[in-house]
Amino acid sequence: MKSFASDNNSGIHPRIMQAIIDANQGHAVGYGDDDWTTDADAAFRQRFGEDVRPFYVFNGTGSNAIALQALTRTYQSIICAATAHIYTDECGAPAKATSAVLKPIVTPNGKLTPELIATELHGIGVQHHSQPGVISISQSTEMGTVYTADELRTLCDFAHSHAMYVHMDGSRLANACAHCGVGLRELSRDCGVDVLSLGGTKNGMMMGEAVIAFRPELIDRLMFLRKQSAQLYSKMRYLSAQYIAYFQDDLWLQNATHSNAMAQYLFDQIRNLPGLRFTQTVEANSLFLILPQKVIQKMLECYFFYMWNESANEVRWVCSWDTTRSDVDAFVEHLKTILLQTPTI
Pair (96, 220) in one structural domain: yes
- pLDDT of 344 reads 54
Pair (70, 192) in one structural domain: yes
| Mean per-residue pLDDT of the chain | 96
Q: Which of 134, 129, 181, 188 is nearest to 159 (CA)?
A: 134
- pLDDT of 345 reads 45
- pLDDT of 2 reads 82
Pair (279, 236) in one structural domain: no
Q: What is the pLDDT of residues 242-282, one digit of tens each?
A: 999 999 999 999 999 999 999 999 999 999 999 999 999 99
The CATH number of residue 303's host domain is 3.90.1150.10
7 within some domain: no
Q: What is the pLDDT of residues 19-34, one digit of tens each?
A: 999 999 999 999 999 9
4 within some domain: no
Number of domains in the chain: 2
Sign, CA dihedral 99-114-282-257, equals negative
> What percentage of the chain reaches a pLDDT higher than 90?
97
315 within some domain: yes
Pair (49, 107) in one structural domain: yes
Rounded to whole angstroms, how far apart are CA atoms 136 and 262? 28
- pLDDT of 65 reads 97
pTM recorded for the entire structure = 0.96
In which band, very low, low, confident or very high, does the pLDDT at 53 lie, cut at 50, 70 and 90?
Answer: very high
CA diameter of the chain: 65
Parallel, antiparallel, or unpaired for β 286-290 and 277-278? Answer: antiparallel
Give residue 299's domain range.
Answer: 251-341
Q: Which of 221, 213, 246 is nearest to 54 (CA)?
A: 213
267 within some domain: yes
2 within some domain: no
Query: DSSP strand E in the chain: where?
Result: 55-57, 76-81, 101-105, 131-138, 165-170, 195-199, 209-213, 277-278, 286-290, 306-309, 314-318
Q: What is the pLDDT of residues 139-163, one digit of tens each?
A: 999 999 999 999 999 999 999 999 9
Pair (245, 271) in one structural domain: no
The CATH number of residue 79's host domain is 3.40.640.10
Rounded to whole angstroms, how far apart are CA atoms 217 and 244? 27
243 within some domain: yes
> Within a 10 A sphere around the Cβ of 161, how many other Cβ atoms?
9
Rounded to whole angstroms, how far apart are CA atoms 110 and 81? 6
> Within a 10 A sphere around the Cβ of 211, how many other Cβ atoms?
27
In which band, very low, low, confident or very high, does the pLDDT at 341 lie, cut at 50, 70 and 90?
Answer: confident
Pair (190, 276) in one structural domain: no
Query: Using the 8-state DSSP alphabet, how is residue 76 labeled?
Result: E
Q: Write the DSSP string, 167-202.
A: EEEETTHHHHHHHHT--TTTTTGGGT-SEEEEE-GG
Pair (70, 149) in one structural domain: yes
Query: Using the 8-state DSSP alphabet, how is residue 130 labeled?
Result: P
Query: Using the 8-state DSSP alphabet, how is residue 109 labeled?
Result: S
- pLDDT of 343 reads 64
Pair (180, 44) in one structural domain: yes
The letter for the amino acid at 235 is K
pLDDT reading at 84 higher than 50 = yes
The letter for the amino acid at 256 is A
Which of 249, 280, 306 lies at the terminal end of a domain, its last residue? 249
Which of 220, 249, 278 lies at the terminal end of a domain, its last residue? 249
Mean pLDDT of 174-202: 98
In which band, very low, low, confident or very high, does the pLDDT at 46 lie, cut at 50, 70 and 90?
Answer: very high
- pLDDT of 285 reads 98
